[in-house]
Amino acid sequence: MGNSRMRRCQLDQSCVFAEDLGDLNWMRQRYDVNGNPTIVNSPLGLASSFDGVNDRYDVGYHQISLPAATYVEFSVCVWVLFNTIEDGAGENNHLVSDWNTWNPGGQQGFSLMASHTGALPEFDVCDGTNYNSATVGSTVLDTGVWYHMAGTFNAGATRVYLDGVEEDLTATGFASIELEKTTDITIAWGGVTAGYTDAVISNVLMYTRELTAAEIADLASGDAF
């Protein structure tokens, strides 16, 4: 992300994570690096490439400012180019995820991903008991194409955006989302599934508020870089 835009995100007190993933040494100093992600050039600048086998970043809650377990608003954004998109149960092509279990009862966390059926943008959240019926977009994602994906939550509804455009809204009935704080937030892995993500990922942002449609469109626009 361009320096001015990254600084603006970092100055927003609701922005709890802002990393362009373009410096592997920095990521090793700050977070846990698993496998062997590599740094590659992209139209967005430098980015991290994940092999879909065992590459991932683990971001500990002690390393970012997410002190509470529940939030009435939340947003996550990412730029991604998929090398492959897996299709099958457990292969959910997770981009940014905090998830403890797919079994009903005690479910915590969130995940922004390409769905494992149909390769569609998807954003899921949990309220501590169950997770919402998946908020799934309508555009079939392709490999070799850069996308800006975002998911937002505001008490009662989740939205998923692709390239700055809202693709789906789901009424969840959740008053808040409950994060799974005993394990790390993961980039390029789902946490409790077997599937790693084969993709190039850049400019990961997390907020403790719901970004507006205009803000997401701005982040997805070319002048953001």
Q: Helix H segments across the chain? A: 3-11, 24-30, 213-220
Tell me how far apart the 2 most distant CA atoms of the chain are, in Å: 43
Instruction: Report pLDDT for 183.
Output: 79
Q: Distance (Å, rounded) from C-alpha 94 to C-alpha 198?
A: 10
Radius of gyration of the chain (CA): 16
Q: Distance (Å, rounded) from C-alpha 90 to C-alpha 124?
A: 14
Share of the chain above pLDDT 90, in %: 58
Q: What is the pLDDT of residues 58-102, one digit of tens each?
A: 998 878 878 778 899 999 999 999 999 988 766 679 999 988 777
Residue 173 structural domain: 3-224
Q: What is the CATH number of the domain that holds 190?
A: 2.60.120.200
Average pLDDT taken over every residue of the chain: 87
Global pTM reads 0.92
pLDDT band at 225 (very low <50, low <70, confident <90, very high): very low
Q: Is the pLDDT of residue 191 over 90?
A: no
pLDDT band at 202 (very low <50, low <70, confident <90, very high): very high
Q: Of 221, 203, 153, nearest to 47 (Cα)?
A: 203
Mean pLDDT of the region 13-28 = 93
Do the beta carbons of residue 127 and residue 176 sit within 8 Å?
A: yes
Q: Distance (Å, rounded) from C-alpha 148 to C-alpha 146?
A: 7
Q: Helix H segments across 40-125? A: none
Number of folded domains that form the chain: 1
Q: Is the pLDDT of residue 5 over 60?
A: no
Cβ burial, residue 104 (10 Å; 0-12/13-18/19+): exposed
**Residue predicted with more confidence, 87 or 214:** 214
Q: What is the pLDDT of residues 142-183, one digit of tens each?
A: 999 999 999 999 988 999 999 999 999 988 888 898 887 777
